[in-house]
Structures are given as structure tokens and as C-alpha cells.
Amino acid sequence: MDLATTTYIVVGFTFLIYIGIAIAARAGDTREFYVAGGGVHPIANGMATAADWMSAASFISMAGLIGISYNGYGGSVFLMGWTGGYVILAMLLAPYLRKYGKFTVPEFIGDRYYSDTARVVAVICLILCSVTYVIGQMKGIGVAFSRFLETDYETGLYTGMVIVFFYAVLGGMKGITYTQIAQYVVLILAYTIPAIFISLQLTGNPIPQLGLGSTLVGSDTFLLDKLDQVLAETGFKEYTTSVRLSQVNMFAYTASLMIGTAGLPHVIIRFFTVPKVRDARKSAGWALIFIAILYTTAPAVAAMARLNIMQTIEPAPGQNLVIDQRPQWFKTWEQTGLLAIEDKNGDGRLQYVADPERNELVKLDNDILVLANPEIARLPNWIIALVAAGGLAAALSTAAGLLLAISSAISHDLLKSTFYPTISEQMELNASRGAMALAVFGAGYLGLNPPGFAAGTVALAFGLAAASIFPALMMGIFSSRVTREGAVAGMVVGLGVTLFYVFQHKGIMFVADWRFLPGMSPNWFFGIEPNAFGCIGAAINFAVAIGVTAMTREPPERVRNLVQEIRIPAGMTGAASHH
């Protein structure tokens, strides 16, 4: 059976599972729509959170970012940053927000800061970071379809939209939870199986995490030492030590991703679905275990695939690959544009070196490490098909979580809590379905018409969440003194400063022509790149909020009681008992 047919069968089969789950798990009321009824087992929620969290970027791009763009050690910012946030979530946020026991993130901010303004500002922050994030997922769905199923990008995107629409609009959080569990299983198998084979081939050790620290088959040389050596021979920096820009930048980058993770609303609301405070803590731990299975495999994939590519091109020093004899996977991926070669010196052989003047592998896209891995390792077609299904599962699960966060902010926080408090339960459920449908079409539209910024958006989402939502939540829990004026000013300034720094570098809305202050040198703030700026935005948010609080009247008694109450687990009566 040829690859395309196999891929259609595997991907089609996973889609049937998702639709089957959607029909079985329809939401009957708002509590099921927003928090899946509040009865999700902590391990199940951990698995759903892992799928919710690991996006197309984690699945398709991260290994390549580490192995190629960030040249090894520099890529550690993603590994530590995207996992360390769960420690913050488990200890500083999730248990207390679960104790508070309502449906959405802006709802907590609105109540804790006794202000509809704070609630609306939180909704705006939430929509900004979720929409920028969802565009990246929509693009991922379109790209995965077009690469593996040879459809065009639009067809792929429409198909993805229909699937998401089906289970997200019907099932709300309930449908999303159970599809995310299925999607986790698909994506983790798709990621680890090729990694196990590659590790076996290179090191003889089936566990990639150990293989990365092992010797190469048939020699006494460690894999990482070999990689350092071949990179040195071709003029690249050493894999195990090359930093990303500077130590300060790596510090800020890691910190931004960590607190950004903890502040992303679509991740936080997953913790509203478990029955107890204790389950929220436990669930964060399980989520991190499920995430770590992929995140500790990724650096192994990164190093092994990079070494594979280097050695395919130059098996021994000076013995470069004859271009006419290049393996089939080269030709396959050249057609997609992810890989491009140009015989600059006309010797008929391929040189892959650091020097851009002499480098003949003129295009090596980050995504290729994961996407082409099974072909490079000569694995059977069904594994390649599984990788396609895994990439789609990662993108679909994250998109659905984001869309739910957006629609619940609109139907619950804007409609029910702010503008139309007398709305009935059934009407609110209909409104949330309508908002979800709108969000799906909006995201699809933005996926089809990327205003030139799809690539930059995911990183921006973290910066915005770190600079706006995270500080407001943390101060809301850990201080009973911070006032509504302080919180609102902090969110607005934190968000504003972060947007300013990013747009100053990359142009307003990522339109390169709309750059401003061109006289400033790049990364002018202590050498910190725009993607790493979220933690600075967060620090400014904290400072402004505390400063303004000192000048304003202290919060009313009931808010101080609320803060005392969320700190203690017992006395909880389940999500939405206040309704």
C-alpha cells in the first residue's frame, strides 16, 4: 500500500475516534460545557492537559528548534521553560483557583478585584493571547494536511475546522476533554516510536533519554562528543555548550516561557474540571509527567537527527554526498520547500557548513527533524502516517482548548457577568455554542489570511500571558491588599510594554514596514530578544500594581475574606455552586 493511502487510513481512523467521542460526550448544561461537569479524574485531566498544552509547535517544530536553529544547548530554554511552568501552576495558582470554584479566569480576576473593568481587561488579555496562539494551530493543521495528504493548504484547514467545530461546539469542555485524551495517546505514540527506532539504530539503546548519553554503535565515542566533533569540523559551534545570544537572554527566555505557561488561560481552565483542590495539585503533576515523556524525548530526537543529517551529507571528512546519489527523502522534502540544496562550487557534492557563503544546504527547515525522521531512519509507511496523525492531534487538541477559553470568556464573562446578568441557563449555553462557532470561523479566517505573522504569534502569546494575566492572578491569591486600580494598571502597562518591545522589533502586528524607532539596536534591553521579554513585562506589571495599590483605597472586607477562603481547601462546594 502506498504512503498516501496508508496516511489517509490512519488519519481518517483517528478522526472517526474524535467524532465518536464528540457524539458520546455532548454537553447538556453550562457546567458541562465550561468545566466538563467538574468530575474529571486527575490522571485523565493530566493527560488532557498535556494534549491541550502540547501544540503543533511542540510536536512538529521543537526538536528542530533545539537541534538546528538553537544548535543544541541554546534550545534548553524551551525544555526548561515549557515544563517549569507546571511547578508554578501546581503550587502557586491551580489549587487556589480550583478552590475558588468557578468557570473562567476573567471571572476570578473580576471578583477578586471587585470590578467589571478588571474583568473586561482580563477578557481582552485572554482573547489577545489565545487568538494569537490559535492562529499558529490553524496554520499547523493546514500545513500538516498539505504535507502528508497532498491536499492544498485551504482544504486541510477547512477539514480541520469541521472536525474542531463538531466536537468543540457539541461537547464543550466535556467533549474536548475526552478527545484530548485520545489525541494525547495518538501524539505520544507518534513521537516516541520513531525516536525509539532512531535511538536503537544509533546507540543500540531503545530508550532515547539514555541513548542521548550513550556511545555510538560499534565505537567507544559518545554520541554527543561525536556531534560536537562533526559540528566543529564544519565550522558550527559546539552542540552541548552554544548559548542562545547570551546567558542573560537565556535566563529571561526561560523565565518568560515558565510564567507564560502558568498564565495561559486555556491551561488554567483545565484545572477547573477536577473534583477537588487536592486533585488540582495532583493533576498538574500528572500533566507534567505526560508532557515530560515528549519533552525529554525531544532533545534526543534533536541531537540524533542532527547527527544523522550531518553524517548522511559527510559520512567521513571530505567524503561528501554526491548530489545525484542523495537519498529519496531529500527529494521528497525538497518538493515541499522544507529542504533546498544548491551546488555552489559545482563539484557535484553537497557541503553543509556553518559559513553561509559555502553552505550548500541552503534551506533546512526546523520542522524537518520530526517530519522526515521516520524516512531518514527508513521506518515503514505506517509510522510515517502515524506522525501525520500525531501532528494533527497536537494542533487540534490545542486549538480546541484555546477556542473554549475564548468562547467561555465571551459568553460567560462578557455576556452573563457583565452585560446581560439575567440571561437564563439555556440561553447562556446556546450563547456559548454560538461564541464557539464564531471563534472557530474567526480562527479559520485568520489561518487562511495570516496577516504575515503566524510564525511570530505563538511566542508572543507567552509574552502576553506572562506580562498580563499571570501577575494579576498571583497577586490576587498571595495578597489581599492589591486593589482593583493596581491590578488594572498593572495588566494594562505590562501588556502595553511587552507589545511595544515586540512590535518595535518586528513591526506593528508583525508587518515589517511598521517598525518604529529604527535607531534602536536590536535586543537593546540588556540583549534580551523580543520573545524573551515577557518576564520583564511581568516584573513591570508587579511593580506598577504594587505602586498604584499604595496610593488607592484598600479592597473591601468581602474581598479580603475571599482571599482567606481560597487559601484553605475545605469548605469547597464544587464548581459554580454560587449560581
Partner 1 sequence: MQKLSEAQAKEYWRRNRSLMIRLMAIWFIVSFGFGILGVDLLNTVQVGGYKLGFWFAQQGSIFVFIGLIFYYVVAMARLDREFGVEED
Non-local CB neighbours of 268 within 8 Å, separated by 6+ positions: 89, 93, 94, 97, 105, 262, 473
Least separation in angstroms between residue 550's CB and partner 1 is 22
The answer to whether residue 218 forms part of the interface with partner 1 (CB under 8 A) is no
Q: Is the dihedral of CA 199, 200, 205, 206 positive or negative?
A: positive
Return the number of the residue (54 or 379) whose C-beta is nearest partner 1: 54
Cell numbers at residue 183, please? 489525541
Please pick, from the candidates 194, 299, 471, 534, the single residue that binds partner 1 as defined by CB under 8 A: 299
Which residue stretch of 23-31, 213-221, 332-340, 350-358 sits at the interface with partner 1 (rule: CB under 8 A)? 213-221
Please pick, from the candidates 288, 305, 495, 545, the single residue that binds partner 1 as defined by CB under 8 A: 288
The answer to whether residue 561 forms part of the interface with partner 1 (CB under 8 A) is no
Which residue stretch of 47-55, 271-279, 454-462, 485-493 sits at the interface with partner 1 (rule: CB under 8 A)? 271-279
Cell numbers at residue 574, please? 464544587
Return the number of the residue (90 or 143) whose C-beta is nearest partner 1: 90
N-terminal to C-terminal alpha carbon distance within the chain: 57
The answer to whether residue 579 forms part of the interface with partner 1 (CB under 8 A) is no
Rg of the chain taking only CA atoms, in angstroms: 24
CA distances from 15 to 159, 269, 573 (A): 10, 25, 37
Return the number of the residue (17 or 224) whose C-beta is nearest partner 1: 224
The answer to whether residue 22 forms part of the interface with partner 1 (CB under 8 A) is no
Burial of 245 (0-12, 13-18, 19+ CB in 10 A): middle
The answer to whether residue 84 forms part of the interface with partner 1 (CB under 8 A) is yes
The single-letter code of the amino acid at 574 is G
The answer to whether residue 306 forms part of the interface with partner 1 (CB under 8 A) is no
Please pick, from the candidates 212, 304, 436, 548, the single residue that binds partner 1 as defined by CB under 8 A: 212
**3-class SS of residue 515:** coil
Q: How far apart are CA 351 and CA 353, in angstroms?
A: 6
Please pick, from the candidates 284, 310, 436, 467, the single residue that binds partner 1 as defined by CB under 8 A: 284
DSSP letter for 364, please: E
Please pick, from the candidates 146, 296, 320, 381, the single residue that binds partner 1 as defined by CB under 8 A: 296
The answer to whether residue 285 forms part of the interface with partner 1 (CB under 8 A) is yes
The answer to whether residue 276 forms part of the interface with partner 1 (CB under 8 A) is yes
The answer to whether residue 73 forms part of the interface with partner 1 (CB under 8 A) is yes
Contact 35, 275 (CB under 8 A): no
Which ranges of 452-483 would DSSP assign to H, the alpha helix? Answer: 454-464, 470-478
The answer to whether residue 98 forms part of the interface with partner 1 (CB under 8 A) is no
> 268-297 burial string, b = 16+ CB within 10 Å, else e?
bbbbbbbbbbebbbbbbebbbebbeebbeb
Which residue stretch of 362-370, 508-516, 549-557, 560-568 sits at the interface with partner 1 (rule: CB under 8 A)? 560-568
The answer to whether residue 34 forms part of the interface with partner 1 (CB under 8 A) is no
Least separation in angstroms between residue 267's CB and partner 1 is 15
Of 229, 240, 243, 236, the closest CA to residue 353 belongs to 236
Return the number of the residue (118 or 268) whose C-beta is nearest partner 1: 268
Least separation in angstroms between residue 206's CB and partner 1 is 16
Q: How far apart are CA 30 and CA 322, in angstroms?
A: 63
CA distances from 306 to 247, 366, 376, 523 (A): 24, 10, 11, 28
CA distances from 156 to 151, 258, 480 (A): 6, 32, 49
The answer to whether residue 80 forms part of the interface with partner 1 (CB under 8 A) is yes
The answer to whether residue 277 forms part of the interface with partner 1 (CB under 8 A) is yes
Which residue stretch of 390-398, 444-452, 491-499, 563-571 sits at the interface with partner 1 (rule: CB under 8 A)? 563-571
Q: How far apart are CA 304 and CA 472, in angstroms?
A: 42
Return the number of the residue (165 or 295) whose C-beta is nearest partner 1: 295
The partner residues of 339 in beta bridges, in order of sequence, read 364
The answer to whether residue 83 forms part of the interface with partner 1 (CB under 8 A) is yes
Which ranges of 270-321 would DSSP assign to H, the alpha helix? Answer: 277-313
The answer to whether residue 570 forms part of the interface with partner 1 (CB under 8 A) is yes
The answer to whether residue 86 forms part of the interface with partner 1 (CB under 8 A) is yes
Of 223, 360, 190, the closest CA to residue 305 belongs to 223
Return the number of the residue (127 or 223) whose C-beta is nearest partner 1: 223
Contact 99, 476 (CB under 8 A): no
Number of residues that bind partner 1 (CB under 8 A): 49
Least separation in angstroms between residue 225's CB and partner 1 is 7
Of 265, 275, 296, 328, the closest CA to residue 126 belongs to 265
Please pick, from the candidates 500, 525, 569, 576, the single residue that binds partner 1 as defined by CB under 8 A: 569
Q: How far apart are CA 520 and CA 350, in angstroms?
A: 39
Least separation in angstroms between residue 77's CB and partner 1 is 9
Return the number of the residue (190 or 255) whose C-beta is nearest partner 1: 255
The answer to whether residue 242 forms part of the interface with partner 1 (CB under 8 A) is no
Which residue stretch of 176-184, 222-230, 357-365, 518-526 sits at the interface with partner 1 (rule: CB under 8 A)? 222-230
The single-letter code of the amino acid at 139 is K
Please pick, from the candidates 3, 19, 92, 437, the single residue that binds partner 1 as defined by CB under 8 A: 92
Please pick, from the candidates 8, 153, 158, 251, the single residue that binds partner 1 as defined by CB under 8 A: 251
**Site residues (vs partner 1, CB under 8 A):** 73, 75-76, 79-80, 83-84, 86-87, 90-92, 95, 209, 212-215, 222-225, 240-241, 247, 250-251, 254-255, 276-278, 281-282, 284-285, 288-289, 292, 295-296, 299, 564, 567-572
